[in-house]
Amino acid sequence: MNKTLIFGFSLWIVSSAAWSHGPTPQKLDERIEIKAPVDKVWELLRKFEKASEWHGGIKQSLGDGKQGEPRVRTLVLPNDEQLVEEMDFFSDHDHEYGYRLKQENIKALPVSSYSVKFQAIPGASSNSTVVTVKSRFYRGDTGNTPPESLNDAAAVKAMSDFFKTGLDSLRQKLEQ
């Protein structure tokens, strides 16, 4: 009898663990076409530590002064909250770089972590460029019942708005 109870209890524990899970990673793919040659777009976009020069949603950006990877930057948003990000890879040849959130700050963005890849590729004509942003992230509260302000929908909206603001600002700066 005791063996049956122990076996049943063990089976219940194992099956409960199999059914429980954390949040699902969210993904965003944004793109914009800019009427400017890829080299001109990349010249501005490649300055990882100077994102405030082209991103309208960033008040100030500060780099750690390093070249290569890993590089760290701090973005100051209009609400004075900060995002600290670390570059994972950089390629002048492919006009791309990738980075991730180094320190969580749910007052800045309602996400607990993210990784991002920016790339500039030649467009349909020699005077156009397509900039793509691909991101994977988790909501701000990774528990099973997050508040509305930190759930998947809030994270997707905030990240989408942030990237769209950046891409629109980049296009405005380069097409003027």
Helix (H), strand (E) at residue 149: none
Mean pLDDT of 84-99: 97
| Assigned fold of 22-175 | Alpha-D-Glucose-1,6-Bisphosphate; Chain A, domain 4 (3.30.530)
Where do the domains of the chain lie?
22-175
The per-residue pLDDT of the chain, averaged, comes to: 91
Q: CA-based angle 69:70:73, to the nearest 5?
A: 115
pLDDT at 14 over 60: no
**pLDDT tens-digit readout, 93-152:** 999 999 999 999 999 999 999 999 999 999 999 899 999 999 999 999 999 999 999 999
Beta strand 72-76 with 60-63: parallel, antiparallel or unpaired? antiparallel
**pLDDT tens-digit readout, 20-73:** 567 899 999 999 999 999 999 999 999 999 999 999 999 999 998 877 678 899
Which of 121, 122, 104 has its CA nearest to residue 113? 104
Q: Which residue has the higher pLDDT, 65 or 76?
A: 76
Q: C-alpha dihedral over 73, 78, 79, 84, to 10 degrees?
A: -10
Work out the burial of residue 14: count CB atoms within 10 Å of its CB; fewer than 13 is exposed, 13-18 middle, 19 or more buried. exposed
**For position 66, what pLDDT does the model report?**
79
SS3 state of residue 172: helix
